[in-house]
Amino acid sequence: MWYSPDVKDWYKINTTIDANKSGNDIYKVPAEILKTAVQSFNRSYDLYYDFEIEWKFQVNKFSRYYVYFHFAEIQQLAPGLRRIINVTLNDENILSEPIILEYMKPVTISNKNATQGFVRFSIRATAESDAPPILNAIEVYKLVTDLNSPTDIKDGMYVFHLYIYLSILLFNSPGNLFPSISRLLHGYA
């Protein structure tokens, strides 16, 4: 779901130019999302968000969450000017050093350890920044740890073997129908 909240003191910006999708973008954020962003009115204001207050989303106090922040500088800043930001999650800085955003180059950061109990973040421009903080997208994942599944642990292997069988039967080669299965076969050969 792509949801764009209307948050006080945030304003939306966009571009028609696609972000540079270099080979090292492991998150594969859709171009349409990277073309839009929110920013604060000036460098003095943070982008602050509390899921319980703003989204009316009741987080479970005992659950753990992983949060991914997606950034791309979509404004062409004047030569020599930079947008430098810090990100805090639940009042803890999740960066070892501030991020310097580069024009149309996507950056994704996340918390290394799951946060527990609530999801609240702040994106702040550093004192050295020439532009206000920006955010293109955020993803929040609840960690599910219930491993008491009623299915048999071998169920996945039956599906795996069915894909291999169909691939060999239909195309006489395990790599033609499902290339990822071909790569897996080398590990099981």
* Per-residue confidence band for 178, with pLDDT thresholds at 50, 70 and 90: very low
Q: pLDDT tens digits for 77-135?
A: 999 999 999 999 999 999 999 999 999 999 999 988 888 878 889 999 999 999 999 99
Number of Cβ atoms within 10 Å of the Cβ of 34: 24
Order of strands across the sheet with 10-14? Answer: 10-14, 36-40, 134-135
pLDDT at 41 over 60: yes
CA max distance for the chain: 64
As a whole number, mean pLDDT of residues 62-73 equals 89
Q: pLDDT tens digits for 8-31?
A: 778 899 999 887 665 566 788 888
Torsion on CA atoms 124, 45, 37, 137, rounded to nearest 10: 50
CA distance 134 to 70: 10
Q: How many CA atoms lie within 13 A of 81 on its CB side?
A: 10
pLDDT at 138 over 50: yes
